[in-house]
Amino acid sequence: MEKSKLKSWISFRVKPKEYDIIHAQFQKTTCRKLSEYARKVLLNKPVVVKYRNLSADDFLRDMIKLKNELSAVGNNFNQAVKRLHTLDKFPEVRSWLTTSEPGINAAINKIEEIKSRMNQVYEIWSQK
């Protein structure tokens, strides 16, 4: 089926405040261009409006902050463990590291898993 070409122009002037209102309404829709939105409104066709769950947005903002803090904690923890590995003078530290290393690695892996999952959630929510 061939798409019909648009042939006629309709143009009109609006006040800056009116334009801001129209543009704000347009940005809430799934229309890609203002002209597409205007055609739908003027022809009384349905316009799909995006819906944002503000509580979910708040949650996401908090989770992003938590992810960044978690990343900093993980980096500091990792640096501390690496520093402990360089201490050969204290045999107690070396034996503690040897026995604690599986737990330390598990904690680091969990931090990375949480960060990865938070990134996935962010990607899903940022598309809406």
Same domain, 87 and 69: yes
Q: Which DSSP letter does residue 49 get? A: B
Residue 80 lies in a domain: yes
pLDDT score of 54:
66
* Per-residue confidence band for 14, with pLDDT thresholds at 50, 70 and 90: very high
The tokens describing 112, both together, are 């990375």
**pTM confidence score:** 0.42
Same domain, 66 and 121: yes
Q: Which DSSP letter does residue 110 get? A: H
Residue 3 lies in a domain: no
Contact, 51 vs 28, CB < 8 A? no
From CA 106, how far away is CA 96, in angstroms rounded?
16
Q: Which domain holds residue 62?
A: 54-126
Same domain, 90 and 110: yes
Same domain, 94 and 113: yes
pLDDT at 125 over 80: no
Residue 92 lies in a domain: yes
Number of domains in the chain: 2
Radius of gyration of the chain (CA): 27
pLDDT at 15 over 90: yes
